[in-house]
A and B are shown apart, each in its own frame.
Chain A
Amino acid sequence: MFNVSKETAPPFGMISPFFLIGSSFYLLATIFLLFLNPQYGHFDLAIVGWLHWFLLGFMMMVIFGAMAQLVPVVLEVGHFSVDLYYIIWPLLLIGTLVMSFGFWVDPFVLPYGGLLVLVSMVIFLYDTLMTLRKVTNITFTVKTVIASNLFLLAGIIIGFVMSLAMGSGVDIDINSWLGVHVVMVLGGYITLTIMGLSMILLPMFGLSHGFDETAVERAFILMVSGVIAYFVATLLAWEIGKWIAFMMMLASVSLYIYQVTIIYDTRARKENDIWVKSMFVGYGSLLASATLGFVYSLTASENFLLGAGWFLIMGFFAFLVNGHLYKIIPFLVWFERYSPLVGKQKVPMLHEMLPKRMANFQFFFSTIGLVVAGIGIIIANDDLFRGGITLVITGAVFMFASVRWMLNYGINK
């Protein structure tokens, strides 16, 4: 049996930049929303640039930081080479800045930014795949890590070729491949990663035991099949195939939400702390996103597509990541600063290392803003959208302050 110990757990100084940079990108991403318009189409470069800023600078940055700590936990083996994480965040940071500049100002630099991002992700994948070679116990989560990382590899290679097309004139049909890139990264990597990790983290934090996992296992098969089917349908330029693949992914998401409700029902820990509340809004947003996506598949209305994207990204992704930061950061800080003191002096409990009032303000403003701006997008009302964004920004300021508060806990004690 493998144990996470001081020798195999990544150093705090290695992981903290991921979270600090991630929360900074999140705050700036919410501010940049003020420069977007709900009447933009999803191909608009302003939106594409914002998406890369958010998904690379915030989502990927935080996921990679979390994976540095979670890989040994969920795979039950030590990292192949955890030191590689020292070079992942600088490459990802610079690459994201250059790519965003490319989308917003000058497409010429896109391939350079894309290359830096590609290299950072290939390094991450190298460590993860080499670590996977040591795994002997193939659990459900291990399967999701294998599948999601292969999709990430395919997704970023396609993305890099697209950046070459935009910046250097390589001749490919960007519109066709954009869909595959989005499906591979959002469905194949991020959603599958969340699916796999959540089967460890949700029961662990909620103390749920003895529940049936059939729903999530079917959700996994449907998502993998859906992503592959979308790729094949694009190669064949088969529109009905794409629609079928899209429906498979929606069915996967529905089954996954059902699994989450099973875990929630069997939890022993009933306290509704900031983590539970964030999960509620996150999974509620996923449901809203799936519903809007289904409506879009029937109506082809751009507003429903943008609305589905809004609730997926600013609802599901953002609330799940931010909610888990309230668990992960205090644990890492406690592990670094207090675990050596256990048995020698009184040490704080993890719940004492949370800025509860700030966290509640963050939750309140972010949730109201998410809903108001989401409605603004769906009905194409600019005033409603901007009003909601103002609340989302206020929530992001509290999130940034909370992250700093948690990272600095105990420094002067």
Chain B
Amino acid sequence: MCTITKEQVFEAVSTVIDPEVGFNLVEMGLIYDAIVEESCNIQVIMTLSTRACPLHQMITQWVREAVEKIEGVGIVEVEVVWEPEWNISMADDNVKKALAGI
């Protein structure tokens, strides 16, 4: 029985910062889900703010490495999806306010 929670996964991913905007991926609303299997294998489902993101592969690699730091974790997979398409309404309020210069 795996004791790793979805919250732990999100907390781990929140250490990954987008260098362009300076916010972490979780508060940007880019992490859609984290599926924790009984074997402690984890699948992170995420998106990016643009399909043309030049850091696409590096960001998914950082997410994988961040989740792999959780104790007892099995195989980590990161899947990037484009549906639903990301928009600013998915971000936390602090991100929206900071980007809007409020």
Pair from one complex: yes
Contacts A270-B99, A270-B100, A271-B99 given; indicate if A5 touches B58 (C-beta within 8 A): yes
Q: Which of B19, B49, B50, B51 contacts A334 (CB 8 A)?
A: B19
Closest A residue to B17 by CB, please name it: A349
Closest A residue to B20 by CB, please name it: A350
Q: Residue-by-residue, is B46-76 near A (CB-CB < 8 Å gives 1, otherwise 0)? A: 0001111111111010100110000000000
Judged by DSSP, the binding face of A is loop
A342 at the interface (CB under 8 A from B): yes
Q: How far is the CA of A200 from the CA of B53 in the complex (A)?
A: 10
Q: How far is the CA of A269 from the CA of B15 in the complex (A)?
A: 22
B86 at the interface (CB under 8 A from A): yes
A176 at the interface (CB under 8 A from B): no
A168 at the interface (CB under 8 A from B): no
What's the least CB distance linking A358 to chain B, in Å?
21
Number of interchain pairs (Cβ within 8 Å): 72
B residues in contact with A350, CB < 8 Å: 19-20
Q: Residue-by-residue, is B25-65 near A (CB-CB < 8 Å gives 1, otherwise 0)? A: 00000000000000000000000011111111110101001
Q: Which of B20, B52, B88 contacts A209 (CB 8 A)?
A: B88
A residues in contact with B62, CB < 8 Å: 342-343
Q: Which of A207, A209, A338 contacts B99 (CB 8 A)?
A: A207
Closest A residue to B23 by CB, please name it: A349
Q: Do B88 and A207 touch (CB < 8 A)?
A: yes
B4 at the interface (CB under 8 A from A): no
A residues in contact with B93, CB < 8 Å: none
What's the least CB distance linking B86 to chain A, in Å?
7
Q: How far is the CA of A338 from the CA of B65 in the complex (A)?
A: 16
Closest B residue to A209 by CB, please name it: B87
Q: Do B66 and A343 touch (CB < 8 A)?
A: yes
Q: Do B56 and A271 touch (CB < 8 A)?
A: no
B21 at the interface (CB under 8 A from A): yes
Contacts A204-B53, A210-B87 given; indicate if A270 touches B58 (C-beta within 8 A): no
A4 at the interface (CB under 8 A from B): yes
A146 at the interface (CB under 8 A from B): no
Q: Which of B15, B17, B52, B101 contacts A200 (CB 8 A)?
A: B52
A residues in contact with B19, CB < 8 Å: 334, 338, 347-350
Contacts A209-B85, A343-B62 given; indicate if A69 touches B54 (C-beta within 8 A): yes
Q: Which of A74, A335, A348 contacts B52 (CB 8 A)?
A: A74
Closest B residue to A268 by CB, please name it: B88
Q: Which of B21, B56, B86, B99 contacts A3 (CB 8 A)?
A: B56
A residues in contact with B20, CB < 8 Å: 205, 331, 349-350
Contacts A207-B49, A343-B66, A350-B20 given; indicate if A331 touches B87 (C-beta within 8 A): no
Contacts A4-B57, A334-B19 given; indicate if A204 touches B88 (C-beta within 8 A): no
A residues in contact with B100, CB < 8 Å: 268, 270
A261 at the interface (CB under 8 A from B): no
A82 at the interface (CB under 8 A from B): no
Closest B residue to A271 by CB, please name it: B101
Q: Residue-by-residue, is A340-367 near B (CB-CB < 8 Å gives 1, otherwise 0)? A: 0011000111110000000000000000
Closest B residue to A204 by CB, please name it: B50
Q: How far is the CA of A219 from the CA of B85 in the complex (A)?
A: 26
Closest A residue to B56 by CB, please name it: A3
B residues in contact with A236, CB < 8 Å: none
| 24 pairs, A vs B, C-beta closer than 8 Å | A3-B56, A4-B55, A4-B56, A5-B57, A9-B54, A73-B52, A74-B52, A76-B51, A204-B49, A209-B85, A209-B87, A209-B88, A210-B85, A210-B87, A268-B96, A268-B100, A270-B99, A271-B99, A331-B20, A339-B55, A342-B62, A348-B19, A349-B19, A349-B22
